[in-house]
Structure 1
Amino acid sequence: MTDFGDTNFADKAGDKELQDFLMMEKQKAQFNAQIHEFNDVCWDKCIDKPSNKLDSRTETCLTNCVDRFIDVSLLITNRFAQLLQKSA
């Protein structure tokens, strides 16, 4: 005779594993989307004309652009986290 309680527990454990996997994949996709957004915004801002090498001005511009983009993303993320904590 099959113990349905054990099967139910295994199903829940499998569901949790699947949810964890899907969450990780979603985070990877969001990270990749963020990288593409950095590329698009900073490319348009800093690259006048593509060439074989980056000059120091362009390299500095790209570095500053990405740094500011990351700063703003972290600021927004932290602000949302604070709002969630206050509402909980």
Structure 2
Amino acid sequence: MDNPEMQRFLQQEQQKAMMNEMVGKLTSVCWDKCITSAPGSKFSSGESTCLTNCAQRFLDMSVMIAKRFEMK
């Protein structure tokens, strides 16, 4: 493929797909870990804290893994 514009477009679309997949995985993992009962109209403070911490750890780990692959 010699078209640089098309290559950039495809790369952007791949990045979007990876991001959507990561958000879906994060949501699934953190929901299962933090939400132990049927949610009401709001999360409890414990659930909210757990979701925040879980999401942050997930993102930190994703960045660490991405950096590790960049080095190779």
| TM-score of the two chains, using structure 2 as the length reference | 0.90
Measured in 1, the distance between the counterparts of 2:57 and 2:20 equals 18
Measured in 2, the distance between the counterparts of 1:81 and 1:19 equals 19
Of Structure 1 and Structure 2, the greater helix share is in 1
The equivalent residue for 1:37 is 25
Measured in 2, the distance between the counterparts of 1:65 and 1:21 equals 32
Measured against aligned partners, the alpha-carbon deviations of 1:17-45 in whole angstroms (never above 9, x if no partner) come to 11110110110110011000010000000
Structure showing greater relative contact order (alpha-carbon pairs closer than 8 Å, 6 or more residues apart): 2
Work out the number of aligned pairs and report it: 71
Write the letter of the residue equivalent to 1:37. K
Determine what percentage of the aligned residue pairs are the same residue.
Answer: 46
User: Bigger shift: 62-71 or 49-58?
Assistant: 49-58
Write the letter of the residue equivalent to 2:23. I
Give the deviation of 1:16 after TM superposition. 1.2
Give the deviation of 1:52 after TM superposition. 1.0
| TM-score of the two chains, using structure 1 as the length reference | 0.75
Query: Structure 2 unaligned runs (5+)?
Result: none
The equivalent residue for 2:16 is 28
Give the deviation of 1:71 after TM superposition. 0.9
Measured in 1, the distance between the counterparts of 2:44 and 2:54 equals 15
Measured in 2, the distance between the counterparts of 1:78 and 1:42 equals 23
Measured in 2, the distance between the counterparts of 1:36 and 1:79 equals 22
User: Bigger shift: 71-80 or 55-64?
Assistant: 71-80
Query: Structure 1 unaligned runs (5+)?
Result: 1-11
